[in-house]
Structure formats: C-alpha cells, structure tokens
Amino acid sequence: MASTLLTPGSNAERSRQYNRGLVLGHIRREGEAGRAEIARASGLSTQAVSNIIADLLADGWVVETGRRSGQRGQPAVTYAIRAEAGAALGVEIRPDAVLAAWIDLAGTVLHSARVALTRARPEDVLPVLQGLPGRVAGCSLIGAGVVMPGPVGVTGLSGQASELPGWGGIDAQVALEEALGLPVTVENDANTAAMAERVMGAAQGIDTFACLYFGTGLGLGLVAGGEVFGGAFGNAGEIGHIPVPTPEGPTRLEDVASRMALVRLLAEAGLHPATGDDLAALHAQAPPAYLDWLDRASTALGHAVLLLENLFDPETIILTGALPPPILDDLVARTPLPELSVSNRPDRRHPRLIAGRVGRRAATLGAAALVVNTALSPRLVATA
Amino acid sequence: MASTLLTPGSNAERSRQYNRGLVLGHIRREGEAGRAEIARASGLSTQAVSNIIADLLADGWVVETGRRSGQRGQPAVTYAIRAEAGAALGVEIRPDAVLAAWIDLAGTVLHSARVALTRARPEDVLPVLQGLPGRVAGCSLIGAGVVMPGPVGVTGLSGQASELPGWGGIDAQVALEEALGLPVTVENDANTAAMAERVMGAAQGIDTFACLYFGTGLGLGLVAGGEVFGGAFGNAGEIGHIPVPTPEGPTRLEDVASRMALVRLLAEAGLHPATGDDLAALHAQAPPAYLDWLDRASTALGHAVLLLENLFDPETIILTGALPPPILDDLVARTPLPELSVSNRPDRRHPRLIAGRVGRRAATLGAAALVVNTALSPRLVATA
DNA sequence: GTTGAACCTTCAAGTGAGTTGAGTTAATCG
DNA sequence: CGATTAACTCAACTCACTTGAAGGTTCAAC
C-alpha cells in the first residue's frame, strides 16, 4: 500500500534502512561475517556496523555464530542470518488452482498448500488468499510474492489483457495486498523461478544470470545485479515466442523446447505419461520419441543460449521448471554450446549452462524468494 | 582512481551527493522545476531541497529561470541546469585515429577534434590523450568517457584479447585516467551511442530502450532504468553475431544489416561510394543494389526487433550510427514490425522503431554523454 | 616467556544532513 | 478586499555516521 516513489531521496532513516540491507546482504552472501569485515566491504565505519548489528541482534535478524580465530589479533565475532527471523509467502495463481508456499529467510520451505479452483476470477481467488497468511505460526510474514499468468508489470494488470478472466479491469497488486494483508510483489513465473534459483537453488551467489523456465511454454527470467529485470513494461522474457531454425523451417522456440512439445511428440508415438514420475522415467527408458524431442529441444536451446549470451552476457544460464531433474540434466548435457560467443572464455567461474535445483515448484517458491531477496538487499525506499 | 566499492554504505556525505544527483536529475528531466515540486517528487522536505538548491546555485550547477504563476498561492521560483557548469570529454580510440568531442551539460557540442594515427598501441595513443583536456577553456571538465574496440568491461582490458594491439596486458582504465587526468569510464561503441541518444538525441526522457548501432558491424546498446546495461562481464550487446534467417539460409545479422554489407553489395554492382555524402545520395538515386540491401537489411532488422522486444521489452528501439540519416530513415520505414510481440500495444508512448538523431559521431559524443548522465543522476558512490 | 605488532571492539564526543513546525510572503478566488 | 492556497524561510531538533582514543585478544618473533 506504500506509495512508492520512483527514486526516493535519502535521509537518515532511509540511510539506516539501506545500510541494514547492505549488512544483511553481506552476511547472507558470506554465510557468516564479522563486523570489521563488513565495515571494510561497505565503506562504513566499524562503529556504524556495530550499531547496525546491535539493532539486528535486538530485532532477531542475526545471531552470533562464534569467533573466527587463526588470524593474528583479536578474533572477530561472527554473525549469521537468523533464518526464523521472518518468513515469506509465495502464491501462484493458475486457472485451475492456487499454489502457496512459505519459506524462511534461509530459503527453507516451511509449509506448502494447494487449493483447487473451478474458476480463477478475482471473486474466486481472493477469498482463498485471505486464509493463507495465518497458516504458519511462529514466523512473522514480511511479505508475499504472487505469480500470475498474462502480461503483468509496472501498472499491474489494469487495462491489459490477461489469461485469467476477470482480472483485466482491476489493479491486481492492490487487490492482492488487501486480501493478503501483506506487501505484495507481482511477477511472472520465469522471473520468480530465477529468483528461486538465486535464493535457494543453483544461482546462489550469482548476481547476473538468465533462467529458462519450463512452464506451460518456455519463459525467460533475467536477473541483473541481483534484481529481476522486467523490461520497461514488465513483459521482458517472452523467449518462447522467438523463431528458431529447424530442419522443417523456423518455428517458435516453445513449439520445440517445452513440456507441451514433449507431450505432443510422445502422444504421436502412442505414449501418454500421466504423472511427473512417468516423465522422469523417460530418461531411463529412453524411447525414440523422447530422444527425438531431446534432440530438437536441445538444438533449439543451443540457439537460445547463443542469443542470451550475445545479448545479455550472463554469468550463467539455468534451465529450470516443470520438467523432472533427469530431463533437465539430459537437456543440459545435449545442448550444443556455441563456439562463437562472448561467453566462451577460459576464465569462467560457472559452467555456461546448468540445471536448476529448485524443481517443479520453482515459480511458487520463487515468488516467496523474491520477498526474501528484497529483505536482504539494500534499497532506498520511501515509506510514506 | 577512486577505489570503487560495489555497494557502498550510505552516510551523511553520500546521502547529500545522492540527493544532489536526484535534484539535478529531476530538473533535467523536467527542463525546469520549482523547489516544492522537487520535494514532492523526491519525498524530501522542502527545506532539504532548498538547502540543496542553494548549494547548487552557489556552485553554479543551476540557475534561476523565473517564477511559475497562474496557480493559486505564491508562485514557485523555477530552476534549470546551467549548461556551462561542467563539460565532459568523449574519446573514441580507433585503429587509425583518435576522435574527441567536448560537450556541456545540455549536450551541446563545444568542440571536436580528430588525430590521425598510424598505430594505436598504448604508447601511440596515450600521449595524444594527454593534450586533450586543455582544449576547452571556461568549462571545467568533470570526466571523460572512452570508447575502445574489443571486449572491455568490469575488469578493463587486462587479460583479454582486444582488437587494438598492445592493450591486452594493461588496465586500460587506469592508464587512461592517468593520461587524461580525469575520471574515466570505458564502454563499447553501441552503449555510448545509446547514451548519446538519451542525453542529446532521440531517446531524451526514455529510460529503458535498445539501440542498434551501425559501426564496423552492428552493435547493441541497452539502457535500463537510465543506465547502460553491460552484462556480467561488460560484453552484452553482441547482436551482430546472432544468426538470422535469409532466403539463402541463416547468416550473421551484421553480414546483412551493416554498412559493410551495403558497401559490399554496391561494389558487386560496380558502385564505390567514397564519402558519407555518396552514401547519403543513395536514398535519392535508389540504385537496385541499394534497394536490394535495404530489403535484406530491413528484413533482418525486423528479426532483431522481434528478439529485442520479446527479450527486453524496451520502450523503443533506436537505429543509429555511421549511416547517413536518410538511410536510417529508409531502414526504419522498411523494417517490418512483428505483429506477435509484447510491444505491439495500442497504448504506446513512442513508436516501436525510430531513427537516431545524433548522427555519425554518436559513439564519440555518447562517451561524453555517459559522463553527463552520471553527473545528473543520483548514485551512491564511495569517495575513498 | 616476554614483547610487540596486528586486529577487533567499544566509548564518548562531534558533525553533517534531513526533519519539524511556526511564521512570512505572494499569488488567486470569491 | 479578505479568505484561501501555496511556496518559501528560520531555528531548533533528531538521527545516523564518523572520529579518535582506549581496551582486549591473539599470534609471532626474539
């Protein structure tokens, strides 16, 4: 509900908040850290860091974890994030269900839930959301992230077409904040999945990366400098729609590299996997239809990798989403990495393409991860 | 020379500097602005803004431009950026020459120069640079931007291959700062060209856009939230290397959409334009070879537009660089804009594709514009 | 084993910048 | 012309960071 200024000015209060985020962010990155070390890293005085740490201790955000000896001089007292200090709620609204997950500051999943829907209009969804915040005891909820299909963005859904009926005319963010009673961030599935990988998955410690997300189709989440990049209107990352060359002529990427494409190819071969386990079994059984898909999909993904590396120059690219891990691994192994790329360097810290570790629920968990990431990063925010 | 912290903490001094940038940025965006108005926009108190404006007046950064009447209440005193308050130097280092341009805070070109080189090793270039800062009297230089070919970025050129011989082993940024005696920002040509369009060209007032730059090949400059986006290693924007479909099969974009490609096609038709004016005349003469190139290039650019819109969702895309304006206009007019794009919306504020207005010297001027943009934007910077 | 350098931490005073609230000035509106 | 509205200023206040001196611990060298 906070009226957010685009670029708020800085005053004492906002400085403090920013520096708290800076300290928390450093501790999270390092796992644990001493005060003098944080002071050196941030350019703040040790005294300032001491005061902030004292605050954070009093508020329960960090805990003392011991002393770091071995060096000359007095050993530093180290601190770590207290995972239970706060929890975040992630909500995914689908046409047929609402998925929810609660995570703590360390990214541990505390609880999750699924509520089936017959319709997903606001009047069907909002009452379901009202019951969610009370579900976890002990941890105080600091915010919620919400994943919705359709173009979302800086202006919310208002005035834009959405794939969810009935949400077109209302400001989704405001309605959701009211229903949940929490600060809400709305994002698309690929972006939240990327954040899930950053907070609790394969992208920990990586600030700039791209995430290819297998949902209904294929989405792209971009993280730059530790923050989601959504484009000018929040609709960046529609990579599924771009054409890729195939032997039969150009098609859209997600017509080849997606769960839908896999299911279609399997169906043409008379296979009808019903569950996720059925899909996971494909890796071991390796039926021709699967190998065929793998071939087409990985070739197409190679094209996507080429695009992303040349346009975005990420530290790494991550495959994640609603495909079983062995299949993601197969894709990573098979995808040809282009020789001609600015990313093809010998001094890389990370492989160019890796499989995500968050799994099927990446989008829902990522919605919550978005909130955690915000809480543990410095940012100037007006609190009017 | 300043040891730059990645994320510096905020203290009173840095807050002030940040808020000064905020105030200057607001005044630049609006052209002129009153104090109360700035206070509302920034969330600062009117008193704080008053104090900052008093400082800026004393230092000569802003000037009073009158009073805004017509409203009820006491009319606001308005202020505007004083263009002569500072100047920025832009330097472009090419294998055969050093280009330089001086601009003031309003983006007006004060002076420009060209020094021919036979070689462009550091020992050839650095002495030339030493003479540049003294060239403009009156305005104090606040910094320099430098454009160099080859992969540049967060680590400078050190340890990476460069297209300029002899620069591989040294830290370019440090060497350049020493030679120029100014704070230096190193960027690639496409990114500086984008900044030129933002500060003094077709992208004024646009915060998130993509810029296709016709240099030797075809480069991409990305500006997000008013800042250049360079990728994790400073090598984002290599759009020239990506494959595009053509009737004869896929080729690299810059093999079709570039000045080089135009010159080659003209040569095959027996035409050998020697000067920029010869090229500009093509628009009027419209020889078949030119029309052929136009056809191929604009089709390929249509593909690039599709990619950029779907991956980055920019407010607009700008064509700029070393092609005469009428040719850029021809390209803009001919380039097919894909129907299937998140950018194909009715409520757009800007056309999807526009021609740049900075012209041939976009990269050099943009290097200077980069400095101006930094000076007039809020940023937390440690000044150790 | 003693000495001393290196290092972390705290105390207390000081500083800079933004905030607050009352008061002043100058327009427009009825 | 007075009421209202809005921009601006003054002076006291508060907050958060900095500075510099002092106190503790640890390791390493003699």
Query: Chain-wide mean pLDDT for chain A?
Result: 91
Statement: residue B350 has pLDDT above 90: yes
Residues A171 and A236 in one domain: no
B311 and A306 in contact by Cβ < 8 A?
no
Specify whether B311 is located in the same domain as B345. Answer: yes
Residue B348, domain member (yes or no): yes
Residue-level pLDDT at A149: 81
**The pLDDT of residue A237 is above 90:** no
Lowest mean pLDDT among A15-19, A24-28, A130-134, A333-337: A130-134
Q: Strand D positions with any atom < 7 Å from protein CB? A: 4-11, 14-20, 23-28
Task: Identify whether residues B111 and B127 lie together within a single domain.
Answer: yes
Closest CA of chain A from B329, distance in Å: 25
Whether A199 is covered by a domain: the verdict is: no
Closest Cβ–Cβ partner in A15, A43, A313 for B232: A313
pLDDT at A186 over 80: yes
Compare CB distances from A43 to B9, B342, B378 and report the shortest one's residue. B9
Kindly state whether residue B222 falls inside one of the protein's structural domains.
yes
Does B328 fall in a domain?
yes
Same-domain pairing of A268 and A225? yes
Checking A158-163 for CB contacts under 8 A at 24+ apart, the result is A159/B347, A163/A95
Q: In this model, does residue B234 exceed pLDDT 90?
A: no
User: Same domain for B273 and B320?
Assistant: yes
Q: Report the residue of B18, B311, B352 to disrupt the A interface, i.e. the one with the largest count of A CBs within 10 Å.
A: B311
Q: Tell me: the pLDDT tens digits for A50-109?
A: 999 999 999 999 999 988 877 788 899 999 999 999 999 999 999 999 999 999 999 999
CATH number at residue A150: 3.30.420.40
Of B10, B44, B222, the CB nearest to A19: B10
Same domain? B176 vs B291: no
CB contact under 8 A, B15 and A11: yes
Which pLDDT score, from 0 to 100, does residue B5 have?
Answer: 65
For A53, the domain range is 12-81
Q: How far apart are CA A140 and CA B101, in angstroms?
A: 57
Contacts of A233 in chain B (CB under 8 A): 313, 315, 342, 345
Say yes or no for a CB contact (<8 Å) between B313 and A235: yes
**Which pLDDT belongs to residue B152?**
52
For residue B267, give both structure tokens.
């040569």
Number of domains in chain B: 3
Span A267-285, pLDDT tens digits:
999 999 988 899 999 999 9
Whether the Cβ atoms of residue A90 and residue A366 lie closer than 8 Å to each other: yes
CA B60 to chain A, closest CA, distance in angstroms equals: 22
Residues A186 and A54 in one domain: no
Q: Are residues B346 and B226 in the same domain?
A: yes
Provide the CB-side half-sphere exposure for B278 (13 A, CA). Answer: 9
Asked which of B81, B97, B130 is the last residue of a domain, the reply is: B81
Q: Within a domain: residue A200? A: no
Average pLDDT value for residue range B239-247: 91
Confidence (pLDDT) at B4: 59
Residues B319 and B231 in one domain: yes
pLDDT for the residue numbered A151: 62
Instruction: Examine the pLDDT at B2 and tell me if it is beyond 60.
Output: no
Nearest nucleotide (CA of A15 to C1'):
D16
Residue B253 phi, psi dihedral angles, 5° rounding: -55, -45
* CATH number for B47: 1.10.10.10
What 3 state SS string does chain A have? CCCCCCCCCCCHHHHHHHHHHHHHHHHHHHCCEEHHHHHHHHCCCHHHHHHHHHHHHHCCCEEEEEEECCCCCCCEEEEEECHHHCEEEEEEECCCEEEEEEEECCCCEEEEEEEECCCCCHHHHHHHHHCCHHHCCCCCEEEEEEECCCCCCCCCCCCCCCCCCCCCCCCHHHHHHHHHCCCEEEECHHHHHHHHHHHHCCCCCCCCEEEEEECCCEEEEEEECCEEECCCCCCCCCHHHCEECCCCCCEEHHHHCCHHHHHHHHHHCCCCCCCHHHHHHHHHHCCHHHHHHHHHHHHHHHHHHHHHHHHHCCCEEEEEECCCHHHHHHHHHHCCCCCCCCCCCCCCCCCCEEECCCCCCHHHHHHHHHHHHHHCCCCCCCCC
A73 beta carbon to strand D: under 7 Å = yes
Residues 238-297 of B with CB under 7 A from strand D: none
By percentage, how much of chain B surpasses pLDDT 90? 76
A115 and A71 in one domain? no
Tokens of A48: 């300032």
**What is the reported pLDDT for B339?**
84
B380 in any annotated domain: no
Cβ–Cβ gap A25/B7 under 8 Å: yes
Q: What percent of chain B has pLDDT over 70?
A: 95
Q: What's the whole-number average pLDDT of chain B?
A: 91
| Chain segment B161-199, per-residue pLDDT in tens | 457 888 877 888 999 999 999 999 999 999 999 999 999
Percent of chain A with pLDDT over 70: 95
In this prediction, residues B353-367 reach a mean pLDDT of 96
What is the nearest CA distance from A230 to chain B, expressed in angstroms? 7
Last residue within a domain, chosen from B63, B81, B99: B81
In angstroms, the separation between the Cα of residue B235 and the nearest Cα of chain A is 6
Residue A209, pLDDT score: 98
* pLDDT over 50 (residue B160): no
What is the per-residue pLDDT for A160?
A: 47
Chosen domain end from B49, B81, B113: B81
Q: Which residues does chain A have within 8 Å of residue B231's beta carbon, measured at their own beta carbons? A: 208, 312-314
Residue A268 placed within a domain:
yes
pLDDT at B363: 97
Is strand D within 7 Å of residue B65 (CB)? no
Task: Specify the range with the lowest mean pLDDT, choosing from A257-261, A340-344, B60-64, B80-84.
Answer: A340-344
- The answer, yes or no, to whether residue B153 has pLDDT greater than 50, is no
Distance CA B263, CA B244 (A): 20
In a domain, B2, yes or no: no
Same domain? For A180 and A158 the reply is yes
Least confident of A101-110, A134-143, B1-10, B182-191: B1-10
Same domain, yes or no: A183 and A231: no
